[in-house]
């Protein structure tokens, strides 16, 4: 069963940027890539559980605000030390200029 959760209006996230989103005790990071598409990953770095939404988005990469762990936010892939564990990713959709993510029911 799919479980789509409303996040925010599309224009609340700048292109090539990220915002945090909390739902049901979980924290997520919601991204817009430079082309404008929306992506979602778990919100905490797999290295030291730092909030990724304070990090910098450059192209397809989010860089953790603390220890510079880098992930591709489109597929969650960790890009090398200090991070080796990938990020979980979540499906997103845009309806009526509103962003939704699909979380486990």
Partner 1 sequence: MSQTMVIIGAGEAGVRAARTLRQHSPDIEIHLFERENGLPYERPPLSKSALLDEAFTRQLIISEEELTQLSIHYHSDTYVDELLPASKQVHLSNGQYLAFDKLLIATGAKARALPLLQQKGLDSHPLLFSLRSAADCQRIRAHALAGQHVVLVGAGFIGLELAASLRSKGLKVTVLESQARILQRAVPAPIAEVLAQAHADQGVDIRLNCQIEDIRLDHVVEVDLVGQTRLTADWLVVGIGAEPNIHLANQAGLALENGIKVTAAMKTSHPDIYAAGDVCNFPLSRYGTQVRLESWRCAQEQAEIAALNMLGHRAQYEQAPWFWSDQYDLGLQSVGLSINPVTRLERRYDERTRLYVELNEQQQILCACAIGPGNSVAKDIKVIERLINQNSTVDITTLGDVNVPLKSLLKRAKECA
Sites of contact with partner 1 (CB under 8 A): 16, 48, 50-51, 54-56, 58, 63, 65-68, 81-82
Query: CB of 54: closest distance to partner 1 in angstroms?
Result: 4
Distance CA 93, CA 86 (A): 22
26 pairs with which residues across the strands?
23
Shortest distance, CB of residue 24 to partner 1, whole angstroms?
Answer: 23
Give the nearer residue to partner 1 in terms of CB position, either 62 or 100: 62
Q: Which is nearer to partner 1, 66 or 74 (CB)?
A: 66
Least distance (Å) between residue 65 CB and partner 1: 3
Task: Give the 3-state secondary structure of residue 61.
Answer: strand
Report the distance separating Cα 76 and Cα 15, nearest Å: 19
Nearer to partner 1, 20 or 102 (CB): 20
Residue 86 DSSP one-character state:
P
DSSP label at 92? Answer: E
């Amino acid at each position: 069963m799919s479980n789509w959760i409303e996040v925010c209006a599309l224009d609340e996230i700048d292109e090539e940027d990220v915002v945090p989103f909390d739902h049901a005790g979980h924290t997520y990071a919601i991204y817009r890539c430079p082309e404008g598409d929306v992506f979602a990953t778990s919100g905490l770095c797999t290295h030291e559980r730092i909030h990724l939404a304070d990090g910098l988005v450059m192209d397809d990469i989010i860089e953790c605000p603390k220890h510079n762990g880098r992930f591709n936010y489109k597929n969650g892939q960790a890009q090398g030390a200090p991070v080796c564990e990938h990020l979980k990713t979540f499906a997103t959709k845009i309806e009526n200029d509103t962003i939704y993510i699909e979380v486990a029911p």
